[in-house]
Amino acid sequence: MMADEGLKLLRQIVAAGGRKYTAGNIDRRRYDQLVDLGWLTPFKTNVSDIEYQVTEKGRAAADIAAQ
């Protein structure tokens, strides 16, 4: 994922309240890349669903990108 795409996704999640719920068997690579950067934290809600929450580091990155 390009850095700009990652920041765009991050800013969308922040604007939606800082959480993104993913359900089912979907490709989560773009979210996992943000987890690797320390910008999101994943929480398994059940076997096939994950909720991602923006970290403080992620909020700071989104704020810097918005400027």
Domains of the chain: 3-66 (1.10.10.10)
pTM: 0.89
pLDDT-derived band at 1, boundaries 50, 70, 90? low
Greater model confidence, 65 or 34? 34
Tokens at 11, concatenated: 């800013």
Task: Judge whether 53 and 22 are in contact, CB under 8 Å.
Answer: no
From the list 15, 49, 50, 23, the residue with the least C-alpha distance to 35 is: 50
Greater model confidence, 4 or 56? 56
CA angle in degrees (0–180, nearest 5) for 4-37-16:
65
> What spatial distance separates the first Cα and last Cα of the chain, rounded to whole Å?
21
Q: Reduced to 3 states, what is the DSSP secondary structure of residue 19?
A: strand
